[in-house]
């Protein structure tokens, strides 16, 4: 990323340039990103190609003022952090599904970030409802966050009996929310291009939940969340209060995308794989 792209990105998320790549600055950038850039899978249902190349992703997030799913959001956020002086590793993860089953390889992309103070954090702005702030990567106790109680723990063996390979301290990690494992994290650094197969599967497979549903979601200024799923607009306040409204017309849907998420669309996306919703 060049300096003009960095400035445009910071403007996009409403964040001032950090003076140094510190942990405090990382926390601020992380929250600003979650508030400004929605987690969304609209490209899949609009017939837009998802290309895991830095320029294409920046064009989408900055130029088109869109969001994306994990590969896009953490891919661009990782590029921004590296440009700001952080040491960033892209990590692959497998998401826990129904019955505790693990998803496909390269199911998810998260970031390991080292600061100027020498601390290491797990940053993730691409997992939907997750932590509002980065988690301490080496901490194994409870980590309170507005998004819930998180823990990062050594993972047990996978269904094949493997623990991730390498020395014990370099084995896989489980990211846990409220006692429920969310995803299993590999500790070996990856390149953005390594995730192309995962992005292709999630954007094309009838087994992917992304092809069977529409989602657009972000954290609100008060720490709540607003989500548009198809024609259902859901709000969750920071105190847990919930509201739901059904949008009757296409114009209402397009207005919600524009006013609530800053996304300008010329037409309402329709679910690509309707069979999963019948």
Tell me the catalytic residues: 70, 108, 124
- For the chain, what is the largest distance between any 2 Cα atoms, rounded to a whole number of angstroms? 57
Helices H / strands E in the chain, number of each: 7, 13
Dihedral sign, CA of 182, 147, 83, 120?
A: negative
To which H or E segment does residue 95 belong?
A: strand 87-95
DSSP state of 91: E
CA geometry: angle at 170 spanning 115 and 24, to 5°?
15
Burial of 119 (C-beta count, 10 Å sphere; 0-12/13-18/19+): middle
Q: Nearest to residue 83, comparing CAs of 59, 54, 110?
A: 54
Distance (Å, rounded) from C-alpha 188 to C-alpha 75?
A: 16
């Amino acid at each position: 990323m060049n300096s003009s792209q960095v400035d445009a990105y910071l403007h996009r998320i409403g964040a001032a340039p950090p003076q140094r790549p510190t942990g405090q600055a990382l926390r601020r950038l992380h929250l600003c990103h979650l508030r400004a850039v929605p987690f969304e899978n609209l490209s899949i249902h609009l017939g837009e190609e998802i290309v895991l190349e830095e320029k294409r992703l920046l064009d989408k997030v900055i130029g088109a003022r869109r969001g994306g799913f994990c590969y896009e959001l953490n891919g661009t956020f990782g590029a921004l952090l590296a440009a700001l002086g952080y040491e960033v590793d892209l990590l692959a993860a497998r998401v826990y599904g129904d019955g505790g089953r693990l998803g496909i390889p390269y199911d998810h992309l998260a970031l390991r970030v080292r600061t100027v103070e020498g601390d290491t954090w797990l940053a993730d702005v691409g997992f939907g409802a997750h932590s509002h702030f980065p988690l301490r990567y080496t901490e194994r106790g409870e980590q309170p966050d507005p998004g819930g109680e998180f823990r990062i723990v050594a993972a047990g063996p996978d269904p094949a009996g493997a623990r991730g390979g390498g020395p014990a301290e370099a084995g896989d990690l489980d990211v846990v929310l409220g006692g429920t494992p969310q995803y299993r994290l590999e500790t070996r650094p990856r390149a953005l291009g390594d995730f192309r197969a995962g992005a292709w599967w999630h954007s094309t497979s009838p087994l992917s939940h992304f092809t069977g549903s529409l989602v657009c979601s972000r954290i609100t200024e008060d720490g709540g969340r607003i989500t548009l799923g198809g024609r259902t607009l859901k709000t969750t306040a920071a105190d847990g209060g919930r509201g739901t409204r059904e949008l009757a017309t296409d114009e209402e849907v397009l207005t919600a995308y524009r006013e609530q998420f800053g996304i300008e669309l010329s037409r309402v996306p329709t679910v690509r794989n309707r069979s999963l919703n019948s």
